[in-house]
Copies of this chain bind each other. A is one copy, B any other.
């Protein structure tokens, strides 16, 4: 195993495995059966923590002191190159791709998946059983319910009139499906069980159980109709 740097304050269950060359900072807690890929950083200090110093930290031990650590639940798999900031809480059975980013204050439920290169770029809340595909962007304040699927490169925003002094994050309800490369404009709410088609730009609230599509996104069909089409599709009709 290549060398890791593990904080003396960290609580690492004896069954945790490392591929090597990782940093675990501050009072991070990593639960049983979790696996940490190569070149991963756990518990990285936020800019705010850095700023509490007059100068940049001189070595890893000072960086370590700045960090209040991250908590990662059991039986998770964090793949190589990922960076998880301090004050992050992650449930059980998370599986990630490579090079994901989870910024300070984020909370991730149980049984989630986060694909390669995806970013929770601020304090983001993710419910249980959420599957986030690769290259997804969720900015500060985004709230994602339970049992949600987010397709690759979906891009969520949090400022209606950048650069304003008032962020209005997006809320994605339970059971939603967010299509690939879609853009969700700041402040909108996607109702429970609704679907955003791939490539759409969603500028208004989406009612529950509704499929929207296009630029700007318009109501297309109901979720019930979507499910009927999905069944036909699965049967190859």
Binding site for B on A (CB under 8 A): 1-3, 5, 15, 17, 19-21, 23, 33-35, 38-39, 41, 44, 47, 50, 55-60, 63, 77, 80-81, 83, 95, 97-99, 101, 115-117, 119, 121, 131, 134-135, 137, 139, 149, 151-153, 155, 157, 160-166, 168, 177, 179-181, 183, 185, 198-199, 201, 214-216, 226, 229-230, 233-234, 236
Shortest A75–chain B CB gap in Å is 9
Chain B residues with CB under 8 Å of A157's CB are: 151-152, 179-180, 198
- A50 (CB) vs chain B CBs: closest residue: B77
Given A1-B60, A33-B56, A101-B98, decide whether A119 and B137 contact each other with a Cβ distance below 8 A. no
Most buried by B among A23, A137, A216: A137
Chain B residues with CB under 8 Å of A180's CB are: 137, 155, 157, 183
Q: Is the CB of A183 within 8 A of B161?
A: no
A101 to B152 CA separation, bound complex (whole angstroms)? 14
Chain B residues with CB under 8 Å of A60's CB are: 1-2, 19-20
Give the contacting residue for A83; candidates B63, B80, B230; CB below 8 A. B80
Chain B residues with CB under 8 Å of A183's CB are: 180-181, 198-199
A81 to B101 CA separation, bound complex (whole angstroms)? 12
Give the contacting residue for A161; candidates B44, B165, B226; CB below 8 A. B226
